[in-house]
Amino acid sequence: MTTLKWEHFSHEADVGIRGFGSTMEEAFAMAIIALTAIVANPDTVEPKIKIQITCHDEDVELLFYDWINSVIYEMDTKNMLFSIAKVHIDNSYLEGEIWGEIIVPEKHDPAVAVKGATMTELKVSTTGKQWITQCVVDV
Amino acid sequence: MKLNLVEKITPEIWEIRPFGKMNVPARIYASEDLISKMDLKVYEQLCNLTMLPGIVDMAYAMPDAHWGYGFPIGGVAAFDPEKGGIISAGGVGFDISCGVRLLHTKMKVAELAPHKETLANLLYKRIPSGTGSRGKIILSDQDMNDMLMGGARWAVDKGYGSAADLDFIEEHGQMAGANPETISKRAKERQKEEMGTLGSGNHYLEIQDVNEIFHPEAAKVMGLELHDVVISIHCGSRGLGHQIGTDYLRSMMTASKQYGIYLPDRELACAPIQSDLGKSYLGAMRGAINCALANRQIITHLVREVFNEVIPNLKLRLVYDVSHNTCKNEWHMVNGKKVNLFVHRKGATRAYGPGHEDLPENFKSVGQPVFIGGSMGVGSFVLVGTNECESLAFSSACHGAGRAMSRTEAKKFWNGPQIIKELREQGIVIRSGSYRGVAEEAPLAYKDLKSVVDAAENAKLALKVAQLSPHICVKG
């Protein structure tokens, strides 16, 4: 059985993204694949270019909000999609790497651009065995 | 939403009496059918909204209200700065000053047929649309600041359109009080190459015709006759507005605690209007309004260029331009007194009634034009503001149909080629860079536009003037 790594959840006008992981870092990283999947199939995105991102907040949920918005900024200004994310969090400081490529419309069939992460349904939680990160993003 | 949660005042007016921490009542304008289909979240978000400091009169939800973030989409709330009133970035939304403008041609729909494919192809080619679309204009730092201050007036000065257009745009095309210094480098960077672009999602450019007139007097004032070809442009402030929303939602989140503001939902993060942060957001948001106005002005110019190439000497007159995600400083009558308020309209259109001093002279006899966009295949409605609307909802009306189905669900039901084929069979030509995007925007993924517009009219928020049917749709 394949372990679920990310999913979308329904929001009337927009889209919810959810990442799962055995660590909080992994759940942060998987949410980026859910983010990409709003725009295109992540399997079509080759990890050709690496971008580094840093964020800081003592509130893990706001740290997640900043992380998602930082990636959205890179998507928008560099016209890119990302298929791999790696995250390291140390004492409220996040260092992340995202890997992806510039959008090729014929290859990626990009459906919609993401405007920003919202605080709706914003949660970073754990069941003890699994970490879950989520929020609704405005499209 | 269960009807026992609200009190029926009339068949189109439903009220929520204050309870708990609600400072004022809340009201929903909708038919019984529409309100019963509204998500419970609309009720919760509307109640939460009434708990914010300085709210005046009531919080309102328009007939197209649906679950937003903090504010419901289709939410209207006014705040008094003298009574600790707040301004909320979430109350305006990410696509600041997203709106619709309508252009009128003197061509009849029968004359459109031979040019349909050429126009569709050229409009799609010349007006950048879809995810990651970039325009030909690249703004320098100075141009950026000038655009943020000047709005559509800046665009006209740069050669995009004519000065006559400015009289038919809210704020005469230039929102006063913008402050580029309160806008982050990130926001400016996101906008640098996005001027004159449609964006994606529910944004569009449509060639339509006037297929029904309900209010001959108002239609005459707007210069709309049966079967006239018109063009609707729906888009907003692009990356700049999105980033300003992101930046200020974040800073208001922290500031709300400092100001001791109780937030029933953190998405309602806000700051007192008279605080430094409140003033800073106002300056930034007004810059984003100017960005949206400039954007729609540039697109208008591009559309005129295309038409001129295909059908020389055909004039495209701007009927009006309305925004539906704003917070504006306006005077309104409250309990018999004229009060200076900051009116948030999130997914709601300003709809001044006849005689309002801010209207262009020719519209003073009938009221402000209001454009209600629908999904592909459905077209739009033109409405006009009423005098009753001033006391009903601070002169506000609905803005669209609202989704009936999430994007995730929609793409399970439909695929792009199928939708494009079905619409072509109805005579509607679609141009889009993404099949998946078309599937997510399928006509049936939206609520019935007519029932929303009828509810707005029955509630006297606005009166129906005309219905516009689509012929070409360039999808964002």
B471 is catalytic: no
In a domain, B429, yes or no: no
In a domain, B412, yes or no: no
Considering only residues 181 to 210 of chain B, which have any Cβ-Cβ distance to chain A shorter than 8 Å? 186, 189-190, 199-201
- State which residue of chain A sits closest to B189, comparing Cα positions: A77
Q: What is the rounded CA–CA span in Å between residue B123 and residue B380?
A: 19
What count of CB pairs under 8 Å joins A to B?
Answer: 123
B39, B130, B266: residue with CB nearest A119:
B266
CB contact (8 A) between residue A138 and residue B94? yes
Q: What is the rounded CA–CA span in Å between residue B426 and residue B175?
A: 40
B90, B93, B130: residue with CB nearest A110:
B130
Interface test with B, best of A9, A10, A11, A35 (most B CBs within 10 A): A11
In a domain, B419, yes or no: no
Q: What is the least distance, in Å, from the CA of B342 to any CA of chain A?
A: 23
Residue the block writes with tokens 């402000």 = B368
pLDDT (0 to 100) of residue A3: 62
Q: What is the rounded CA–CA span in Å between residue A60 and residue B176?
A: 39
Reported as a single tens digit per residue, the pLDDT across A66-118 is: 999 999 999 999 999 999 999 999 999 999 999 999 999 999 999 999 999 99
DSSP string, B356-407: -TTS-GGGTTT--EEEEE--TTT-EEEEEE-STHHHHHSSEE--B--BSS-H
The tokens describing B439, both together, are 């599937």
Residues in a beta bridge with B337: B334
Reported as a single tens digit per residue, the pLDDT across A27-68 is: 999 999 999 999 999 999 999 999 999 999 999 999 999 999
> Which residues in chain A have Cβ-Cβ distances shorter than 8 Å to B68?
13
Task: Please give the backbone phi and psi of residue B210, each rounded to the nearest 5 degrees, phi first.
Answer: -80, 105
In a domain, B428, yes or no: no
The tokens describing B259, both together, are 């100001």
Considering only residues 287 to 346 of chain B, which have any Cβ-Cβ distance to chain A shorter than 8 Å? none
Q: What is the least distance, in Å, from the CA of A55 to any CA of chain B?
A: 13
Q: Which helix (H) or strand (E) holds B301?
A: helix B276-310
Q: What is the rounded CA–CA span in Å between residue B70 and residue B6?
A: 20
- State which residue of chain B sits closest to A65, comparing Cα positions: B250
**Helices (H) then strands (E): counts for chain B:** 14, 19
In a domain, B425, yes or no: no
| Catalytic pick among B104, B115, B399, B471 | B399
Query: Mean pLDDT of successive 10-residue segments in chain B (476 residues)?
Result: 96 98 98 95 96 98 92 97 96 95 97 97 96 92 98 98 97 98 97 95 95 98 98 96 95 93 93 98 98 98 98 97 97 95 98 96 97 90 98 97 84 92 96 92 91 97 98 93
Per DSSP, helices labelled H in B415-468 are 416-425, 435-440, 449-458
pLDDT (0 to 100) of residue A1: 45
pLDDT (0 to 100) of residue B428: 96
Contact B273, B87 (CB under 8 A): yes
Q: What is the rounded CA–CA span in Å between residue A59 and residue B417?
A: 45
In a domain, B437, yes or no: no
DSSP string, B319-353: EEEEESEEEEEEEEEETTEEEEEEEEEES-EE---
CB contact (8 A) between residue B201 and residue A136? no
The type of residue at B50 is T
Q: Which residues of B329-356 are buried (b: 16+ CB within 10 A; e: fewer)?
A: ebebeeeeeebebbbbbbbbbbbbbbeb
Interface contact B93, partner A, CB < 8 A:
yes
CB contact (8 A) between residue A112 and residue B69? no
Query: How far from B287 is each of B21, B69, B191, B258, B369, CA to CA, in Å?
Result: 34, 22, 12, 26, 24
Reported as a single tens digit per residue, the pLDDT across B314-353 is: 999 999 999 999 999 999 999 999 999 999 999 999 999 9
Q: What range defines the domain where residue B356 resides? A: 3-404+446-475
Complex confidence, ipTM: 0.90
Considering only residues 42 to 71 of chain B, which have any Cβ-Cβ distance to chain A shorter than 8 Å? 66-70
pLDDT (0 to 100) of residue B476: 83
Domain count, chain B: 1
Compute and round to an integer the Cα radius of gyration of chain A: 14
Here the CATH number for the domain that contains residue B388 is 3.90.1860.10
Task: Show the CA angle centred on residue B276, arms to residues B49 and B283, nearest 5°.
Answer: 80
Q: What is the rounded CA–CA span in Å between residue A131 and residue A23?
A: 6
CA dihedral A34, A36, A41, A43 (to 10 degrees): -90
Tell which residue, B141, B148, B76, B78, has the closest CA to residue B325. Answer: B76
All structural domains of chain A: 6-138 (3.55.10.10)
> Which residues in chain B have Cβ-Cβ distances shorter than 8 Å to A12?
39, 41, 66-67, 402-403, 406
Contact B455, B30 (CB under 8 A): yes
Instruction: Kindly report the number of other CB atoms within 10 A of residue B312's CB atom.
Output: 7
